[in-house]
Chains A and B, each alone.
Chain A
Amino acid sequence: MHSDALIALLPFLMMTATAVAAMLAIAIRRNFALVNGLVGGGIVLSLLSLAPASHRAPVQVTELLRMDDYALFFIALLLLAGLAVLGLCHDYFKEREGQNEELPILLGTALLGGSVLAASSHFASLFLGLETLSISLFTLIGYPVEQRRSLEAAVKYLILSGTSSAFMLMGIAFLYAESGELSFGGLGRFIASEPAMNAVMVSGVVLIVAGLGFKLSLAPFHLWTPDVYEGAPAPVTAFIATVSKGAVFALLLRLFVETGGYGFAPLRPVLSLIAVLSILAGNLLALLQTNVKRLLAYSSIAHMGYLLVAFIAGAAIAKPLVAESVTFYLAAYFITTLGAFGVVSMLSSAQLEAADMALFRGLFWRRPYLAGTFTLMLLSLAGIPLTAGFIGKFYVFTSGADGGFWGLLTAIIVGSGLGIFYYLRIILAMAMEVEKIEPESEEKFVGLQSAVTLVVLSLLLVWFGVFPGDLIPYIHALAGSFGK
C-alpha cells in the first residue's frame, strides 16, 4: 500500500488502536474514568491525524474508501460529536451501578463504523461500516441491561435493523446481478450507459433507499424511532440521533452523486413521498407527545425529512449547493440535537430518566441555566432566527426554491408550523411556576464534562446563527470540491 494511502487512513487506524488499547487497559484494571479518558484521547488523536490526511486528500484507498475533503469533514464532525457524547456519558454513567468500562470502547467502534461510511465508495465498505456502527449501537442501547426498557429497545433495534440490512443486501445483490459492479463509480458508469432501466435495477435501488431510510428513520420506516430513543440511555440516544444519522446521510449523498442516482427518474417520486411523509408524520406525532425523549425522536424524523428535501433538490440544482446545504444543516442539527439530549442526560438521575414533560415543569425556576440551554436548543430545532437551526432551514429552503420544488416546500412550511407548537409547549412548561417541588428532583446532578459540552454547544449554536459567515466559506469550499 502506498504511504499516502496509509497516512490518509491514519484516523481509522487511530480509532482502531484506541479500541484495542482500551480493551487491554480494562484487562489490567477496571476504571471507568481511565477508559473514558483513553477513548477521549484516542478521538482527539484521530482528529489531529485528519490534518496530515487532508494534505494528501483526495486519495482513493483501494476501491473501498475515498478520503477526500468531504469525507474528512464528516469524519471530523462525527468525531467531535463522539467527543461530546463521551463527555455526556462520563457524567451520566459514573454514578451508575454495573460495569460501565466497555461503553467508551463501543462508542469508539461505532464512531469507526460511521467514519468508514462517510468515506466509503464501494458497497462492501458501505456494508462493513454500517454493520460496525449498528452492532456497536445494539450493545450501547441495551447497556443498562438490568433495565427492561433499554433491553427492549436494544432487541427492537437489533431485529429491525437486521431486517433493514436484509433489504439493503437484497438491493445490492439486484444491482450486482444486473451490472456486475460493486463500486459506486462502476455502478455510475453502468447506469450512464444504460438509458432504460429494468425492474430489477429499480427494485435494487429502491431497496437500498429503504434500508438507508430505516437508519435515517424516514417514514414509512420510522416506527422504531420513539421506542429506541426512549429506551436508550440519553447520551446514547444523542449518539443515534447524530452520529448514526449523519454518517448515513453523508453516505447517501456520496452514493447518489457518484452513481449518478439523480439521473435515475423512478427515484424522484419515491424520495419525494418519503420526505413529505416524514415531515408530516414526524411533526404530527410530536404534536401532543408528553415524553420529551419521544418528542425529540419524532422531531428528528421531521428533520430528516427537511434534509431530504435539500437532497432531492440536487436533481435540479448544482451539486455543490446541495452538499453545502446538507452539510450546514447536518452541522446545525448535530449541535442542536446533542445539546437537547445533553440537557436530558444532565437532568436524569441514576434512578429516573428525565423524559416525562412533568419533570420539566418550572425548570426555569429550579435550574435556570439548564432550562435556558434547552430553550436555545428547542428554538434552534424550530428554526428561529439567530440560531444555527434557522440558517440550516434557510439553506434547505433556498435549495428547494432554486429547484422549484414547491410541493415539498409547502410540506416544510406546514411541518415548521406544527413544530413551533410543540417546541414552544416545552418552553412554556419550563417557564410555568410550580408550587411544590418534588424533593427527589432537588438533588442536582451536575457534571463538569456535560456542563462544558453544553456551554460549547450553546456558544456554537448562537455563533453560527448570528455569524453563519464564519462557517459557510469553509463548507462552501468543501462542497465545491465535492463530486469532481
Chain B
Amino acid sequence: MELLGWIPFFPLLGFLALVFFGRSLSKPMVALIGVGSVGISALLAFLVGFELLRGSMAPYRLALGSWITTGDLTIPFGFYLDSLSMTMLFVVTGVGLLIHLYAAEFMEADAGYARFFAYMNLFVAAMLTLVLADNLLLLYLGWEGVGLGSYLLIGFWYVNPDNGYAARKAFVMTRVGDMALALSLFLLFTELHSLDIQTVMERAQSEWKVGAVLPVTAAALLLGGAAGKSAQLPLQTWLPDAMAGPTPVSALIHAATMVTAGVYLIARTHVLFMLAPSAQTAVAVVGGVTLLIAGFSGLVQTDIKRILAYSTISQIGYMFLALGVGAWSAAIFHLLTHAFFKALLFLAAGAVIFCFHHEHDIFKMGGLRKAMPLAFWSFLIGSAALAALPFTSGYYSKHEILLAAFETSPILWGMGCLGALITGIYSFRLLFVVFFGHQTREVEAAIGNRMRIPLVLLSVLALFGGLLQIPLDTVFPASIETTLPSPSPWVSIVTLMMPILGLLIAALFYLTGTLSSTAFTNEPIKRLLLSGWGFDALYRTLFIHPFVALTRWNKKDVLDSPYLRTAWLSRKLHDLTRAAQTGRIRWYAASMAWGAVVVIAIGLLS
C-alpha cells in the first residue's frame, strides 16, 4: 500500500529526466523513459488496487509529509485511496499507458519527440496528484497541473499560430472555471476551517442544513470549476478547438482523463451536492442541455476529430446528468467505459489520420474498410459502444444513467433518450462515411505494433468493459436504482431502441443513400450547428469585444502616468543635482561653507 506514494513520482521523474536530458537522448531512449515511467506507475497502481480490492475496501490514507503550515492552515502532502480514486487511478495509468505506447510510434517522426513525452509525463503526474489528493489544495495543484499539461500539448505544434490560439483559449476558458473552484476552496476553508476532503465533508454534513445558502454556494462554485474542466455549458467552447493537439493528446487528455476531472470532483464532493439539492439539479440540467447541444453540433461536423470532440462533450453531459440525479456510481461507471471507447475511437481516428497524411475531413476519406481493417474494426467497436448498442460497454453504463434519470424526472430522461438517438446517428455517420463507399485515395502508410496493441486492447475493453464490477457503493450512498422499484418495461425498451433507431437513420442517409442529407440541410441552421451554436460569436461580442475596446481606449495606460511622471521628475531632479557637481574645488569649498552657515542657522533658530 505504501507504494501508492510512488505512483505519481515516476511520471514526474520521467518529466524531469526528459526536460533536462531529452535533447541528448536517442528516440528509443526517450520512448523508454516516457512510456516506461507511466508503465511503472500502472504496475504499481494495479498492485495497490488489487490489495485494496482484496481487503475490506476501507479507504487508505498515506501521509507523505507536510506541505504548508502557517497559522491555522496545515496542508499535508497526503494521498487518499478508495474505490473512487482507485477507478480513476486505473483509468489514468492503464489507458494512459496504452496511449503512451501508441504515441511512441505515432509521434516518432516529430522533431519534438522528447518534449512531447516530457509534457505527457508531466500531465500524468499532475492527473495522478489530482485523483489521489486527500485535500482540496493538493487536488487544486493537480487540477492546475493538468491544465498546464493540456495547454502545452494543445499548442505542441506551436509553429502554427492557430494552435497557440487554441491552447490559449483552452487555458483561459478553463481558468474561468478554476476561479470558481478556488473561490469554493476559500469558502470551504473560511467556513469549515479545513481543506481535508473527508473532514470538510464530515463537517459540512454536521454543520450545514440541507438547502442552506452556504452549501448551495459552495456546490455551485464547485460546479463552475467542474464545468470549465469538463467542457460543459457554458464553458464548453474550448474543447473542439483543443483538437489542434496531436491525436494521442486528444485521446488521453481531452477524452479519457482530464476532461473527466470535473465529474470526479463532483463525485468526490457528492456530500456537498446532496446538501444542496438546487445545485445538484443544476448539475443535471447542465448535463442534459450540454449533451443535446453538443450532440446536435456533432451531427454536422466534417472534421473527424471535431466530431469526436463534440461527442466527448455530449458524453460528459451524460455523466453530469447522472451526477445530477444522484446516480453517482453510474456516472463513474460511464466515465470508465467512456475512457475505453473514446480513447479507442481517437486512437483509431489517429491511425486513419496517420495513414492518410494528416487529412481530417471525413468526406475526403471513404472506403477504408478494406485498406485498414484494424482501424475499421476498432472504429466499429468504438462507435457501437459510443452509441450504446446492446452488450457493448457503453450500453451498460448509459442504460443505468437513463433509467436513473427517469426516476428523477421524465424530462431529463427524454433529453437523454433524444441524445442517445443523436449519438447513434452521428457515430454511425462517421463510421459509414469513413469506412464505406468508394475509396478515394490510397493509404500512404501502415501502422506498426506499438499502435496495433493499444487498439486491440482498447477494443477488448470497449466491448467487455461493461462487465467490470467496481465496488463503488463503499464510497457513495445507496443509489436510487436499488432503492426504487424498477420502472415499467416500456421505459427500458425505448431507452434500448434509441441508438438502434439512430443507427438505422444513419444507414439510410450515408450507407444506402436512400435519403439525401442535402434535402434536409437548411443552411443557416447548419452553420449554427457547425459553429457549435454560435457560442464563440456570443462570447466574442459579450466579452472579447468590450474588453478589447476598453484596452484600446486605455492604450496609454491611465495608471502609468503617475509612474511616468515620477520618472520624469526624478530625471529633472537628477539634472538639477548634477549641476552642482562641477569638479571645481572653490565651488566645493564654498558650498561647504554655505552648508555650514545654513545648518548653524537652523540650529540656532530651532
* Interface set of A (CB-CB < 8 Å, partner B): 155-156, 159-160, 163-164, 167, 199, 202-203, 205-207, 209-210, 214, 220-221, 223-224, 226-227, 265-270, 273-274, 280-281, 284-285, 287-288, 418, 421
**Considering the complex, which residues of chain B in the window 238-260 have a beta carbon less than 8 Å from any beta carbon of chain A?**
none
Interchain CB contact under 8 A, B606 and A287: no
Interchain CB contact under 8 A, B589 and A163: yes
Q: Which chain A residues border B578 with CB–CB below 8 Å?
A: 285
Partner of B588, one of A223, A266, A421: A223
Partner of A270, one of B576, B585, B602: B602
Chain B residue, CB-CB nearest to A203: B600
Interchain CB contact under 8 A, A266 and B592: no
Interchain CB contact under 8 A, A206 and B600: yes
Interchain CB contact under 8 A, B603 and A284: no
Q: Which chain B residues border A266 with CB–CB below 8 Å?
A: 602-604, 606
Chain B residue, CB-CB nearest to A225: B581
From known contacts A160-B592, A203-B604, infer whether A274 and B577 are also in contact, taking CB-CB under 8 Å: no
Q: Which chain A residues border B600 with CB–CB below 8 Å?
A: 202-203, 206-207, 210
Chain B residue, CB-CB nearest to A286: B574
Q: Which chain A residues border B591 with CB–CB below 8 Å?
A: 220, 223
| C-alpha spacing A288/B585, complex, angstroms | 23
Q: How large is the interface on B (under 10, 10 to 19, 20 to 34, 35 or more residues)?
A: 20 to 34
* Interface set of B (CB-CB < 8 Å, partner A): 570-571, 573-574, 576-578, 580-581, 583, 585, 587-589, 591-596, 598-600, 602-604, 606
Chain A residue, CB-CB nearest to B572: A284
| C-alpha spacing A446/B238, complex, angstroms | 59
| C-alpha spacing A161/B561, complex, angstroms | 44
Q: Which chain A residues border B573 with CB–CB below 8 Å?
A: 280, 284
From known contacts A156-B588, A160-B585, infer whether A418 and B595 are also in contact, taking CB-CB under 8 Å: no
Q: Which chain B residues border A284 with CB–CB below 8 Å?
A: 570, 573-574, 576-577
Q: Which chain A residues border B598 with CB–CB below 8 Å?
A: 220
Partner of B574, one of A224, A267, A288: A288
From known contacts A160-B588, A160-B592, infer whether A210 and B599 are also in contact, taking CB-CB under 8 Å: yes
Interchain CB contact under 8 A, B603 and A205: yes
Q: Which chain B residues border A155 with CB–CB below 8 Å?
A: 585
From known contacts A223-B581, A227-B583, A284-B574, infer whether A270 and B603 are also in contact, taking CB-CB under 8 Å: yes
Looking at the assembled complex, report how far the CB atom of A433 sits from the nearest CB atom of chain B, in whole angstroms.
Answer: 22
| C-alpha spacing A287/B585, complex, angstroms | 24
20 pairs across A/B with beta carbons < 8 Å? A155-B585, A160-B585, A160-B588, A160-B592, A163-B593, A199-B604, A203-B604, A206-B599, A206-B600, A207-B596, A220-B592, A223-B581, A266-B603, A266-B604, A267-B603, A269-B602, A284-B577, A285-B581, A287-B574, A421-B570
Looking at the assembled complex, report how far the CB atom of A175 sits from the nearest CB atom of chain B, in whole angstroms.
Answer: 13
From known contacts A159-B589, A287-B574, infer whether A269 and B606 are also in contact, taking CB-CB under 8 Å: yes
Q: Which chain B residues border A207 with CB–CB below 8 Å?
A: 596, 600
Q: Which chain A residues border B585 with CB–CB below 8 Å?
A: 155-156, 159-160
14 additional A-B pairs beyond A156-B585, A163-B593, A266-B606, beta carbons within 8 Å, are A163-B589, A164-B592, A202-B604, A207-B600, A214-B592, A220-B592, A220-B598, A224-B588, A227-B583, A268-B606, A284-B576, A285-B578, A285-B581, A288-B571
Looking at the assembled complex, report how far the CB atom of B142 sits from the nearest CB atom of chain A, in whole angstroms.
Answer: 30
Interchain CB contact under 8 A, A202 and B592: no
Chain B residue, CB-CB nearest to A294: B581
Q: Which chain B residues border A159 with CB–CB below 8 Å?
A: 585, 589
Q: Which chain B residues border A418 with CB–CB below 8 Å?
A: 570
From known contacts A226-B581, A287-B574, infer whether A220 and B595 are also in contact, taking CB-CB under 8 Å: yes
Looking at the assembled complex, report how far the CB atom of B404 sits from the nearest CB atom of chain A, in whole angstroms.
Answer: 58
From known contacts A227-B583, A266-B606, A288-B574, infer whether A274 and B599 are also in contact, taking CB-CB under 8 Å: yes
Looking at the assembled complex, report how far the CB atom of A171 sits from the nearest CB atom of chain B, in whole angstroms.
Answer: 10
| C-alpha spacing A164/B592, complex, angstroms | 8
Q: Which chain A residues border B606 with CB–CB below 8 Å?
A: 265-266, 268-270
Interchain CB contact under 8 A, B603 and A206: yes
Q: Which chain A residues border B577 with CB–CB below 8 Å?
A: 281, 284-285
Q: Which chain B residues border A227 with CB–CB below 8 Å?
A: 581, 583
Chain A residue, CB-CB nearest to B580: A223
| C-alpha spacing A285/B599, complex, angstroms | 22
Interchain CB contact under 8 A, B574 and A221: no
Looking at the assembled complex, report how far the CB atom of B547 sits from the nearest CB atom of chain A, in whole angstroms.
Answer: 32
Q: Which chain A residues border B571 with CB–CB below 8 Å?
A: 287-288
Q: Which chain A residues border B596 with CB–CB below 8 Å?
A: 167, 206-207, 210
| C-alpha spacing A269/B573, complex, angstroms | 23
| C-alpha spacing A349/B589, complex, angstroms | 33
Looking at the assembled complex, report how far the CB atom of B580 sits from the nearest CB atom of chain A, in whole angstroms.
Answer: 6
Q: Which chain A residues border B588 with CB–CB below 8 Å?
A: 156, 160, 223-224
| C-alpha spacing A214/B588, complex, angstroms | 11
Interchain CB contact under 8 A, A273 and B574: no
Interchain CB contact under 8 A, B603 and A285: no
| C-alpha spacing A269/B606, complex, angstroms | 8
Interchain CB contact under 8 A, A202 and B603: yes
Looking at the assembled complex, report how far the CB atom of A279 sits from the nearest CB atom of chain B, in whole angstroms.
Answer: 12
Looking at the assembled complex, report how far the CB atom of B13 sits from the nearest CB atom of chain A, in whole angstroms.
Answer: 29
Looking at the assembled complex, report how far the CB atom of A298 sits from the nearest CB atom of chain B, in whole angstroms.
Answer: 9
| C-alpha spacing A206/B599, complex, angstroms | 7
| C-alpha spacing A251/B435, complex, angstroms | 95
| C-alpha spacing A226/B578, complex, angstroms | 11
From known contacts A227-B583, A285-B574, infer whether A221 and B602 are also in contact, taking CB-CB under 8 Å: no
| C-alpha spacing A209/B604, complex, angstroms | 14
Looking at the assembled complex, report how far the CB atom of B583 sits from the nearest CB atom of chain A, in whole angstroms.
Answer: 6
| C-alpha spacing A269/B600, complex, angstroms | 11
Interchain CB contact under 8 A, B592 and A273: no
Chain A residue, CB-CB nearest to B575: A288
Name, among B574, B576, B588, B592, the residue most crowded by chain A CB atoms within 10 Å (CB to CB). B592
| C-alpha spacing A207/B596, complex, angstroms | 7
Q: Which chain B residues border A206 with CB–CB below 8 Å?
A: 596, 599-600, 603
The 7 closest A-B pairs by CB, nearest first: A220-B595, A266-B603, A206-B603, A287-B574, A210-B596, A223-B588, A206-B600
Q: Which chain A residues border B580 with CB–CB below 8 Å?
A: 223
| C-alpha spacing A288/B567, complex, angstroms | 11
| C-alpha spacing A380/B564, complex, angstroms | 26
Q: Which chain B residues border A221 with CB–CB below 8 Å?
A: 592, 595
Interchain CB contact under 8 A, B589 and A210: no
Chain A residue, CB-CB nearest to B587: A223
